[in-house]
Each structure stands twice: as C-alpha cells, then as structure tokens.
Structure 1
Amino acid sequence: MRKMFSGGDDSLINRKLPKELLLRILSFLDVITLCRCAQVSKSWNVLALDGSNWQRIDLFDFQRDIEGRVVENISKRCGGFLRSLGLRGCISVEDAALQIFAQNCQNIEILDLNGCIKITDAEGCAALEHLSVAWCHQVSEPGVMAIVRGCANIKGLLLKGCTRVNDLCLEHIGEHYTELTTLSLQKIMQISDEGVTAVSHGCPKLQSLCLSDCPNITDASLLSLANNCPRLRILEVARCSQLSDVGFQALANNCHELEKMDLEDCSLITDATVMQLSIHTPKLQVLILSHCELVTDEGIRSLAMGTGAQEGLAVLELDNCPLLTDMALEHLRHCSGLRRIELYDCQQVTRAGIKRLRV
C-alpha cells in the first residue's frame, strides 16, 4: 500500500492507471486539494495542473489575498478549458488582469466579480453568459458599454449596488441583450422608469428582475414589464414605495408565470393587488408582503382561496401587517403546501391563532 500511494513518479498507481483515468479522478478535487497534489511529484504536478481540471474555480475563500497576477496565471494555465470563475471579494484584482484573462479564456461562461471594487469593465469574453459585477462601485456607462461590446451572449447580469449605473446603461442593455433572462439592479438609486422601460422593450425573455431599493421606480415600470415581459417568474421590488395596485394588477393580468414576488414595504398596495395575484398567478410559490400595512384579512382570504395558492404557495411573509387577525390564519389553513409563514409584529394575531394554523 505504501508503494502504491507513495506519490513518487514510479509509484504503482502511476504505472497501473492511465493518465486519462488519473485526470478524471483529479477533476473531482477542489482548488486547494489540486494544489497539494501538484506538490507530490513531477508527474502529479503535470496532472494536477492540467487545464482540464480547472474548468470551475471559485477564489472566494481567499478574497483579499488574491492579486491580479494570480488571475493572469490561472488564465494562462486554464486557457480554453475554464468555464466558471468566482472572484467575489478579491479587491486587489484590477482591469489589467481581467484584460489578459479575457484574451486567454475565450470560453468562459460564468464570471463573478462581486465586490471587486477596482473593476470598471469585463470586455472581451464572447462566450460569457452570466456576469456578476455586484458592488463594483466603479462600473459606470463606459464599463457597461465594454460589457455590451465584448460579451454579446449575456443571459444573466447582476449589477446590484453598482451606484454609478444609470438609465443610459439600461438603454444599452435593452438594445443589445435580447436573450437576457436575469437582471439585478438592486440599490441603484439613479435608475428610473425610463431605464426599466428600455430593458422591458429590449429583453422580452426576461424571467427574473430585481429592482429592490430603487426609489424612483413607479407604476410606469410595472406597466411596461406587464406589456413586454410575459415570461417573468421572479420580481423583487422591496422598498419601492411609489408602486401601487395599478401597476401590480396589470402585472398579474399579463405575467401568469410569476413564482416569486417580493413586495416588502410597498406601502401603497391593498387587498386589490393580493386578489389579482390569487386569480391570475397560479404558479406563485413565494409572496412577501411584510410592511404592506393596508393588506387585510379579506386579501389573505382571496389569496388562500386561489387554486394555485392552495397547493403551490410555500412561503408567505406578513411581518408588520397590523390589520391582519386570527381570521387570516384560518383562511391560510387551506394552503396545504405552505411551509413557512412570518407574522412578526402582527399585533392582532394571537398565539392561539398561530397554534391552530400549525395544527
């Protein structure tokens, strides 16, 4: 056994197993283990550092220790093999390293630059389908233009927290990304209905959209989404305080594929929105209505009576809905698929009512 696994170039495992099988075994290892294997012997070094083993790399655990030269070396080593690279929180990586990376890794499909604050663009990755530049505060219109020019096949784009992104950026996205299915714009204070309308017109296949904490968004955005994005499945608009029943009713009437809606702190909506959702969105699984203080027992009754909710609704958050009483919980007993319900600060809901719901 010692001779078989000694790790030396003449060990039994190296002589008995073909290179292809050893490469297959090593392909299941993570980055750290591969690096350790590379130090065992010359033959294992070659096998462990073979580009075919480095198709998916996540450097999140290293964060601040990763410098640009590491990314450059990875790109040279992996070349066309690399499909997915995660650089979340690697704040020392700059544009120069990514430019070299883009030149060497033309087949990259998923690139996560979340929190790489020195990044301004990701130009040149033609095969890239999913890109996250969340919390990259230096990304602005030139950076978005670089992404549009160099990454023509983007289907998922996360711009969460990119504070310099504006409506012009969204217009570029709408003009070029007709296949876009996922877009996150959370906490981008500058965008307005104009930008969201441009995206909805240009991206009819959109399935997931996050606009939470975008205070300038109004019903005009929801009306545009309702008219142009019928495949929408996930909509997050938490703390968009200007949205009302008008926008949500239009959305419910036209987007019948909705599965998750986060409406937290959309304080203008009433039972009318909940009623329309119960009628027109039979696939709804997650509904967040926390801090929607105008929702009453009647709205929850209509939701619970909907055929989709009775079987499909799994998560319902109703924190700080002061008009709800134990009667709402009686209605929810019809929802057999309900797995989680939140009722913090619902002052008229009693422990007895919660206990009956659990039973």
Structure 2
Amino acid sequence: MVTISLSHNPPFQVPTKNMETLGDDELALILNIVDDPNDRKSVSQVCKQWLRVEGRTRSSLRVLEPDLLREFLPRFPNLLAFESSALITNSDLEFVSKTCPNIQFLDLNLKPTCRVFDEFDDMLGLIDVGDDGICEIATGCRKLCEVRLRKRKGIGDGGVISLVKAAMNLTTLDLGRCSRVTDKALEAIGAANAIRVLNLLGCSLITDCGLALLSKGCVSQTLKKLVISECDQITDIGVLFLQQMCCLEESNLAECGPGVTDMGGVAIAAIRPMKRLNFSWLINITDATLFAVAQDCVDLVAVDLTGCELITGAGIRAFANHRSLEALVLASCFNVCGMMWSTLCSNAGP
C-alpha cells in the first residue's frame, strides 16, 4: 500500500498493484485537481512515475537558485509561468527557452535579498542577464504574454526590440529601472499591437521623441496603463503626444521633473477614459490642471498630487461633486488647508 497525505485532506492509501495499471494520462488527470504546492510535492514523492507526471503537469515555477537550473528544469517541460528574482545569466535563459518553449508569463523582476550599494547596483549589468539572454527567450518562447524585467541593468534596446517583435501576444511589459532602454526601444514597442501595460519607471534615457514614437504606433490603440515616472527628460512636448492614446486608463508621471507643467497636465486630462493619475512631485502643476482633470476625466477614480506645491484649495474644490472619485492624495501640498479638506469631504457623494 502507498499512503498519500495532502495538506487539506486526510491521508488515503492506494494499493500498489493497482498503481501499475494507471498510465501517465490518468495520473495527469488526478494531478490537475491538485493545486496546493505542498500537496503536489507530497504526490511527487510517491514513486518515480508520480514524480515524472507531476513535473510534466507543472504549470508554474519559482526559481531561487538559477545555478541549479540544468539539474531540475528538464522535469518541467510544459511550464507556462517562470519566475526568478535572483541574478540569472544569459546562458541560463537560453537553457530555459530551449527546455520550456511554452512559457507565457516571465517574471524576472530583480529583488535583491540584501541592501546593496549604488556602486554595486550599477555593476549588475556585468554579471546579470542582458540583451543576449532576452533575445534567446524571445526566439524560443513565442507565446509570451507578460514579461517583467524590472531592475535588470544589463537589458537595453537590443533585447527589448527582439522581444516585442517576436512575442506577438505580449500584453504586459515591465522595464522599470532598465536604465539602458532608450527611445529606440520605444519605437519598436509602439509598433506592437497587443500591449496593454507598459512600465518605464526610471528609464531616464527616454525623451519626448520616444513618447512621440510610442504614441504614433499601433500600441496607442491598445495601451491602458503607462508608467513614465522618474523619466526626467520628458517635458510638456512629449506629454502632448499621449493624447493620441485613446484607451489609456492609468498614467503615472510622478517625478518627471519641472518640464511637465499645466500644458502637459491639461493634455492628460483630455484622455477621456482616464481612471487613475499620478502627478506626484510635479512642482509646476497648478490648479489649472486640476480644473481640467475634474471637468474632463469623468470616470476618474484616483489622483495622487503628493508634493504638487502650487495647487491650492480652489483646485481641490473642483472635485467636490465629482461622480466617481474615490481617492485624492494631497501629502506635502502645503497650500491646501485642513478647513478646505473638510469642506470637500462633506460635499463628496456617497
């Protein structure tokens, strides 16, 4: 008799003589209803057949030690989701692409386990995955839908261009803190026809020209969320182009610098589907932007005005009768008094 213990169910016993009559397909059907990772681990320890089938039916994997990939990854050829927050090399990703060609969700957001100095952070690109590794993934995994590459310092235009050209179903692309990404990559992203979420946080080489290229492409008809916070070369000229993104529902321009003023703020307000705005620390935004946002963004749910020093109670009062606003962040807005805030809250709808 073989005893199988699942974390949410009492142990049960399976006669070993009957196990021999079950093929891999039958075992796969059983494993399809086992979702808990600990339960799957218990099942895989029953015998070699269960171990083999559990690996072939596994859909997601989080890798903590990429150095050991070649030892265990071949057991999971049908993965749909691959995640690793550790340093990973180009050759590692080449092996992943050849071993697991059906991957749809790739999360390589770097999350160091300890505090690192800025000098070391700048060197990550020398020892971590770069454009060559992303090109291998793009070539080998053509079904990619979501790709997250945040803080991978070695990734630049070459890898991004290869990725967006090969992954025709790509809907989410996170390039936050990929500091080598430039306007050239945005031109390729602009030509994509399925991307809905694009994160360019801290991509400081991006300029107004890049936003123009992004807005003129097919992506302007599909993009719903755009993060360009801390892209401090952007000015009103680039923000004006965003008006062409007719489906945009969420925009984050936090800390884009003094070049974004009311001209850019009013332009953003003209995007009618907008639901969430982040104008944090745009020090040249004034009440004029708030008047436009309150009037034109009728479906707005949340707006963050942290550090917008020039706004006053007059601009905030424009939201008093807004029909859908749920969150208004006013931290470090020193010209907005407590009495005005109380008045706004009392006038707000249920």
Report the 3-state secondary structure (helix = DSSP H, G, I; strand = E; otherwise coil) of the residue aligned with 2:319.
helix
Q: Is the 8 A contact 2:275 2:300 kept in 1?
A: yes
Mapped pair 1:83 → 2:80: yes
Distance 1:283 1:110 in 2: 31
* 1:11–1:195 Cα change, 3 Å: same
Matching residue's letter, 2:52: V
Mapped pair 1:29 → 2:57: no
1:181 maps to: 196
Distance 2:334 2:346 in 1: 20
1:305-320 matches, cutoff 5 A: 305-306=321-322, 308=323, 312-320=324-332
How many angstroms does 1:155 deviate by?
1.6
Task: List alignment gaps of at least 5 residues for structure 1.
Answer: 338-359
1:143 maps to: 159
* 1:259–1:14 Cα change, 3 Å: farther
Task: List alignment gaps of at least 5 residues for structure 2.
Answer: 6-10, 112-123
The correspondence for 2:90, drawn from 82, 86, 95, is 95
Matching residue's letter, 1:85: F
1:55 maps to: 59
2:269 maps to: 252
Distance 1:142 1:4 in 2: 49
Matching residue's letter, 2:80: R
How many angstroms does 1:193 deviate by?
0.6
Mapped pair 1:191 → 2:169: no
Distance 1:214 1:160 in 2: 10
Distance 1:305 1:323 in 2: 21
Report the 3-state secondary structure (helix = DSSP H, G, I; strand = E; otherwise coil) of the residue aligned with 2:32.
helix
Report the 3-state secondary structure (helix = DSSP H, G, I; strand = E; otherwise coil) of the residue aligned with 2:226.
strand
* 1:3–1:273 Cα change, 3 Å: closer
The worse-fitting range, judged by mean Cα deviation, of 215-224 and 10-19 is 10-19
Q: Is the 8 A contact 1:9 1:42 kept in 2?
A: no
Q: TM-score, normalised by structure 1?
A: 0.80
How many angstroms does 1:243 deviate by?
0.8
Matching residue's letter, 2:31: L
How many angstroms does 1:233 deviate by?
0.6
Query: How many aligned positions are there?
Result: 317
Q: Is the 8 A contact 1:9 1:41 kept in 2?
A: no
How many angstroms does 1:22 deviate by?
2.4
Q: Is the 8 A contact 2:203 2:230 kept in 1?
A: yes
How many angstroms does 1:201 deviate by?
1.2
Q: Is the 8 A contact 1:278 1:305 kept in 2?
A: no
* 1:182–1:274 Cα change, 3 Å: same
How many angstroms does 1:71 deviate by?
6.5
Distance 2:17 2:329 in 1: 60
Matching residue's letter, 2:69: V
2:143 maps to: 127
Q: TM-score, normalised by structure 2?
A: 0.82
Matching residue's letter, 1:188: C
Mapped pair 1:327 → 2:340: yes
What is the aligned-residue RMSD (CA, Å)? 2.6
1:166-177 matches, cutoff 5 A: 166-175=182-191, 177=192
